Structure 1
Amino acid sequence: MTPAAELLRLVHDGTYDEAHQDVRAALLDEIFDPREGLSLPEAGRLAYERCRHLHGKLARPLDILRDPRRLFALAEWPSLLDVSTFSLLMVHYNLCLGTVFDHGLDRPDLQDMIAELDGLSSFGPYMATELGYGNNVAALRTEAVYDRETETFVLNTPDAAAQKYMSYSGFRDIPKIAVVMARLRADGEEQGVFPFLVRISDHNGLCEGIRAVPCPEKPVQGLDNGLTWFDHVRIPRKNLLLGDMATFDEDGTFRATGGNRRKRFLRAMSRILPGRLCVSSAAVGAGKASVYIALRYAANRLTNAPGRDDVPILAYRSHQLALFTALAKVYAMTFLLNHAKREFLAGENPELNDLISITKALSTWEMTDVVAVCRERCGAQGIFSVNRIADYGSLLQGLVTAEGDSQVLLATTAGQMLARRDDAPEPAVPWPHDRDIADPVRHVELLRYREHTLRAAARTAMAAETGYFAGWNNAINPALAMARVRGVRIALEQLLKTGSEILRPLAALYGLTEIQRDAGLYLARGAMTAEQVERLPAVIDAQCAQILPHVNTLIDGFGLTPELLRAPIAADDYLAAFQQTVGT
């Protein structure tokens, strides 16, 4: 097996052939060729057509849901060519149909609507977020009140703050069946938040009692995000998706069966965890493509070199530091994400929610940085949508807040981590002498120590204040840093676990970059010497020198090609490709 083939296996966790290859192949169709001059609504409608194309080429959505690795692959690849297509696919497959899959798949009375969603004759929005409450779904105000006489629910938006926000309702002539999260009321009592299937529109427009207006335009994405208002819309009682959370007797009596109200709510929101892995998959995919494009361009774009003929801009150590650090982050996040996916599939990790939340937050932040660096290092070429990277920047802006704002999500996770009992002994200060500061195993040791010091600092800060909010507010920043460092440490451990020698300099570069962030703390605590701190920049440069001969192999491991991405600056002859694009 060639080094590039071995990296392809590692990057896709041994599942490239069965989970990824056909999704990638479907993107080579001309329907994904770049389109210039489209208005945002035209671009949005094209995304719906591209979704239909992928639907026709791949397994049915319900089959993809039965194999989460297929779902994660579907999240990773289409966003490389169309940000809007990715968004539509994930909402339809994971959030809408996935909720039906979890809570109503085997119900005979729902098979007609399930068939529409599985056949994509109707698209499936997901309506949870509300204008006044953001992602705080537990506080949503949309109501579904049961009417015993008609055996229907009356779905209603009580005020402007309760309007469903950002879900796809703007294109009124596209048939849609949404999953709507609403507060169930029966016999005058509020029973909690549950999912309901609601027909939003057909070929003739919005259904009776439903109002929708488009949200303001967004860069790059022309999708029909809207504000949706329900005005006493009657829906059959069968459209309530209770799953194993509760029963609704024939006489309209509600009986909870799924634990307390919080457990039932979390069960109703069952697609959030796989959704966060889908978001991370798209983020890491964009990072891979960005660094692939930027490095191929850097290897071909010639520039002046003092005392020499023209050289590729990649010959400059300053360019290497920027792009190789980005490459190291992409590989680190790839293996962190692979680890989180494996743990999700195993379903036995008691801290799975922590791991997935940290992975989502860290990967979206790291890939935001990667995309920004790659765009800048491509100069003016990085601005053009046809070269992809600028569009990935827009994608990442959305991913940072998708499935939970990353900072809020990480803060919640950090709070849960602090609340748990920790019986691990206090680690000793890592001994700095006679240790190779370039060794990534040493970096893991330092990161583990930093994680502990931040946990201790956060707990001390909480104890210094009276009242829960004051204490938490005092501790939130070290707690956020603690959770982030845990993600970095796990990512580096997973990168080292591959045992790949070609990846070791990347692991060292990633670890050194993180150690440099907190070098003052390590020096103050005696975990590093002054001489080691002073040498960090030179040691980092030395990793770049080791990585340079293997750049092509490292990026070939992503499974990307210029033919797939259609980015002119990624072509072997970028000058000819760019001229062809502009028609000269």
Structure 2
Amino acid sequence: MTTRTQPLDELGEIVNGSRPYTLRSRLLTVLAADRAAPPDPTEDRAHRMHRQLRLLARNLPPAGELFRDPEQLAVLSECVALVDPPLYMAVLNHYALCLGSMATLAEDPTRIGRPWQALTTGRTKGVFLVTEIGDASSHLGTRTVARLDPDTREFVLDTPVPGAAKFSSVGGAGGPQTAVVCARVLVDDTDHGVFSFVVELTDNAGPLPGVEISRRIEAPSLPLDYALVRFQGVRVPHRQWLSDQAHVDADGVLHDPLGDRDARLQRTLSVGQLLWATLPSAVAAMTRQSAVQALRFSAHRRAHGRLAPGARVLDLRNQQHALLGALAEAFALTCAGRTAREIWARSRTAHHTPPPAPDGMTFSPWTAVDRPLAVLKAATVRRAAQVAAECQHRCGLAGFLHPNLLDGYHGFAHAFDTAGGDGQLILLDAGRALAQAGGGAGGGAGGTVPRAEATPDHPGWWPAVARAHEQRLRDTLRRTLQRRTRAGRTGLDLWNPLLDAAHELGAAYGARLIADAVAAAVEAVHDPELRAILHPLAALHGAVEARRAAGSLLAAGTLSPATARALPTVIDGLCDRLLPHLPLLCGAMGAPPGAVPAPLGADDYATALYDSLDRSPERPS
């Protein structure tokens, strides 16, 4: 198929945004070269991670510049996620959470001194210690304490019970590590809420005095060196307290301008906004690559089934539904990633963190920090994990081989349903907050059924359905909640039977945010040829989503049984419209040639796989 430059350019703008292309090209080049290099048999996983962080630091702008530019942080996330998912988990810890906390909560991070310098140059690996292993929702009940020593003005960090042990990727002995540790500040036994502290954990010889690190814990979905961390009287200099405008006066009294422990927790954890703003772009990049490679593999793969010996696997309708549907999902997540970055940019411009809503931290603190960003995080990683798993399944054995990267993409997205803010708790809190708030879903169709002229093969159909479904679920849950409240029920007694409904509403809200992001992106397209391609792609996303959520849609009365029964035929027609445009779509949505050294998408997969593997040495004659 011959394509003009304009559609490719405009689609590239949707996929890559206004990213710094020089940085993107440089990072992909050095990461791909590092991944393709023969492994060093003397280098274990921990040492390799430290070396890779130093490699990234040499190729990134200075830290101050990096944190002023969301687009550069998004480029870093996407490039590392594409080439090396486990490394991306370490990058999130190091840059988004550890350095990000320091950049957000310290008046001048350079005054922190040696830890800041070592982290920004990659000499030290950074981690973020917030989760405690003993309780659910531990962020709301942090038990690690930091007591102010009034004589030295140091803080003394302690883990009072085993259940307060922190969990993160701090295992192994690869070199120096520094953590941002979330701890409850006590001054004369008065609880002032949860603040962050910069704590040096290890040097080249191992844990520093007072720091206890357990043996390594394996998590196969995301292979890193995890461990438990406890503190026994660790003294933290005053300059390493990320005070965020709080201060201790000459009499040893702590003054916090926020004046409220929930507000302080929200502010301390607001570093999550940086993660949630860039993570959807990264998982979208993983999802695009999963779909593109699986499509290319299926287009070249021949089947020997008796129905049509020698037919391409991609000629099978169920394969088209799965993989073209995956490409449509990848496009939708790409649009959602752009929306997440825009939300974060607006919040940075506002220069303030909104106060927590009343009872805004019921299940977790995350939606009180930023509801749309937290829900976009939860919704996008779940969809990314489902798409990667589907692509693995549709590629057979090849989908599960490590060199093809699909297992890494799936493992990362699956693990991040819990990491970075638990998706289950985020959606529960979002559904609870929506049901308790007044008003409608916000703009547009409200609770009405979509207009008759908007059919499922139209890109505007699914945004209208998603909005109507969210409103119906919201109205139903609100009425039930009001009825139970009038009957005198409170707390867990009030909410326990409604948790599934709250989660369903939170998920519907996430689906609507993504649908709106797709609609906005398609509406902004100027080139008529590209609009003709993206309309069926957007419509396919909607039809696939509706088919997946048909049970909920039918139960709520948002979708009629006849429409639900027609969805497979609609998907057939949309696939037929998209198949001629696959070269353009795959070319624009896949990684640049050579950037991801995985053999799966090669024209001759078997040869590419064989060439990528080490050979056994020849036997002597």
TM over 0.5: yes
Contact kept, 8 Å, 2:166 with 2:229, in 1: the verdict is yes
Q: Deviations over 1:74-100 (max 9, x none)?
A: 122212222221111111111111111
RMSD of aligned alpha carbons: 2.7
Aligned counterpart, 1:565: 596
Aligned-partner residue type, residue 519 of structure 2: L
Taking the TM superposition and a 5 Å limit, the aligned residue runs for 1:63-462 are 63-106=65-108, 109-133=111-135, 136-168=138-170, 170-172=171-173, 174-219=175-220, 221-244=222-245, 246-304=246-304, 310-347=310-347, 353-422=370-439, 427=446, 429-430=448-449, 433=452, 435-462=454-481
User: C-alpha displacement at 1:72, in angstroms?
Assistant: 2.0
* Residues 528/256 of structure 1: CA separation in 2 closer, same or farther (3 Å cut): closer
User: C-alpha displacement at 1:388, in angstroms?
Assistant: 0.7
Contact kept, 8 Å, 1:332 with 1:495, in 2: the verdict is yes
Contact kept, 8 Å, 1:458 with 1:476, in 2: the verdict is no
Does residue 26 (structure 1) correspond to residue 30 (structure 2)? The answer is yes
Match of 2:532 among 491, 501, 520: 501
* Residues 44/176 of structure 1: CA separation in 2 closer, same or farther (3 Å cut): closer
Looking at structure 1, the residues matched to 18 and 468 of structure 2 have their Cα atoms a distance apart, in angstroms, of 33
Aligned counterpart, 1:488: 511
Q: Deviations over 1:253-277 (max 9, x none)?
A: 2112124221122112221111123
Aligned-partner residue type, residue 466 of structure 2: L
Looking at structure 2, the residues matched to 228 and 356 of structure 1 have their Cα atoms a distance apart, in angstroms, of 29
* Residues 527/364 of structure 1: CA separation in 2 closer, same or farther (3 Å cut): closer
Looking at structure 2, the residues matched to 338 and 435 of structure 1 have their Cα atoms a distance apart, in angstroms, of 26
Find the residue that maps to 1:401 and give its secondary structure: coil
Looking at structure 1, the residues matched to 468 and 183 of structure 2 have their Cα atoms a distance apart, in angstroms, of 45
Aligned-partner residue type, residue 417 of structure 1: L
Is there any run of 5+ residues in structure 2 with no aligned partner, and where?
Answer: 355-366, 526-530, 616-621
Looking at structure 2, the residues matched to 74 and 452 of structure 1 have their Cα atoms a distance apart, in angstroms, of 37
Q: Deviations over 1:6-30 (max 9, x none)?
A: 211111223252663333233232x
Looking at structure 1, the residues matched to 235 and 371 of structure 2 have their Cα atoms a distance apart, in angstroms, of 39
* Residues 469/525 of structure 1: CA separation in 2 closer, same or farther (3 Å cut): closer
User: C-alpha displacement at 1:479, in angstroms?
Assistant: 2.4
* Residues 254/7 of structure 1: CA separation in 2 closer, same or farther (3 Å cut): same
Aligned counterpart, 1:8: 12
User: C-alpha displacement at 1:531, in angstroms?
Assistant: 4.5
Aligned-partner residue type, residue 504 of structure 1: H
User: C-alpha displacement at 1:136, in angstroms?
Assistant: 2.5
Looking at structure 1, the residues matched to 553 and 141 of structure 2 have their Cα atoms a distance apart, in angstroms, of 43
Aligned-partner residue type, residue 374 of structure 1: C
Looking at structure 2, the residues matched to 474 and 20 of structure 1 have their Cα atoms a distance apart, in angstroms, of 48
Looking at structure 1, the residues matched to 236 and 572 of structure 2 have their Cα atoms a distance apart, in angstroms, of 64
Looking at structure 1, the residues matched to 255 and 247 of structure 2 have their Cα atoms a distance apart, in angstroms, of 5
Find the residue that maps to 1:182 and give its secondary structure: strand
* Residues 222/436 of structure 1: CA separation in 2 closer, same or farther (3 Å cut): closer
Corresponding pairs, count: 580
In percent, how many aligned pairs have the same letter? 27
Aligned counterpart, 2:360: none
Looking at structure 2, the residues matched to 132 and 524 of structure 1 have their Cα atoms a distance apart, in angstroms, of 38
Looking at structure 1, the residues matched to 304 and 110 of structure 2 have their Cα atoms a distance apart, in angstroms, of 70
* Residues 302/528 of structure 1: CA separation in 2 closer, same or farther (3 Å cut): same
* Residues 112/67 of structure 1: CA separation in 2 closer, same or farther (3 Å cut): same
**TM-score of the two chains, using structure 1 as the length reference:** 0.92
Match of 1:471 among 481, 484, 494: 494
User: C-alpha displacement at 1:107, in angstroms?
Assistant: 6.0
Contact kept, 8 Å, 1:104 with 1:242, in 2: the verdict is yes
User: C-alpha displacement at 1:368, in angstroms?
Assistant: 0.9
* Residues 374/234 of structure 1: CA separation in 2 closer, same or farther (3 Å cut): same
User: C-alpha displacement at 1:477, in angstroms?
Assistant: 2.0
Is there any run of 5+ residues in structure 1 with no aligned partner, and where?
Answer: none
